[in-house]
Amino acid sequence: MIFAGLKRKTLQYFFDKKRQEKENHYRESGNTKNQEIKPHKITKIGVLLNDKIEGPSVVNNLVKVFGFDKKQITFLVHKPQLDVKKEANSEGMFGNADFGWYGSIKNPLVKDFVQSDFDLLINYSAKSNLYIDVLVLLSKASFKVSHAGNKDDLYDLVVATGLKDVSTLNEEAKKYLQILKKI
């Protein structure tokens, strides 16, 4: 229990340090995040969920609203107490134990997700979660979307909707992505 608390604190330290490095980079280069958005069509989508949200309904709504193919969508679900070794049905899931000291990622699935060059990353988590925030911060996605109330500075588009209102988030995101000529 003590080590779990210490590990979480080191992860928080890592997150704060990386976040500050990104802010300093933008400040020193004279760029803002918005100037780096490039208008190209979205073909690869990453979705982050917590275990309170039903993944299939989110993916189905995403396909319906945006018209994406399910093969274009990769999703990852955070389940805090997940033990991949014990749970046979843990495909597409990660837990707190998949992070090591100072933000190191142990799970190869999570590493691949972070390293993927998604055109769009959507976080459907209802509230800020350190483990998901670290993934968003480390992600190489070119455009990031979330609900308002999460760490807003991590995202390119933040939509003020009800926290569990997936369809409204998708519809509002679609409007703005059309304006930006991304879809």
Instruction: Report whether 52 contacts 127 (CB < 8 A).
Output: no
- Residue 142's SS3 state is coil
Residue-wise pLDDT for 116-151, tens only, equals 999 999 999 878 889 999 999 999 999 999 988 888
Cα–Cα dist 175/106, whole Å = 37
Nearest of 113, 115, 118 to residue 42 by alpha carbon: 118
Cα of 89 vs its chain's centroid, Å:
22
**CATH 1.10.150 is held by the domain 2-179:** no
Q: Give burial (CB, 10 Å; 0-12/13-18/19+) of 78.
A: buried
Instruction: Report whether 26 contacts 169 (CB < 8 A).
Output: no
Cα of 46 vs its chain's centroid, Å:
7
pLDDT > 50? residue 74: yes
Cα–Cα dist 19/133, whole Å = 10
Instruction: Report whether 99 contacts 7 (CB < 8 A).
Output: yes
* pLDDT confidence bin for 55, thresholds 50/70/90: confident
Instruction: Report whether 135 contacts 11 (CB < 8 A).
Output: no
User: What residue has token string 């308002």?
Assistant: 148
Single-letter code of the amino acid located at 174: K
Residue 76: in which H helix or E strand, if any? strand 73-78
Q: Which of 22-31, 43-52, 64-73, 154-163 has the lowest mean pLDDT?
A: 22-31
Strand partners, 147: 159
Residue-wise pLDDT for 165-178, tens only, equals 889 999 999 999 99
Q: Quick one: average pLDDT of 48-70? A: 87
Q: Looking at per-residue confidence, does 149 or 108 come out higher?
A: 108
Mean pLDDT score across all residues of the chain = 85
- What are the C-alpha distances in Å from 49 to residues 66, 69, 98, 128, 170? 18, 19, 16, 11, 14
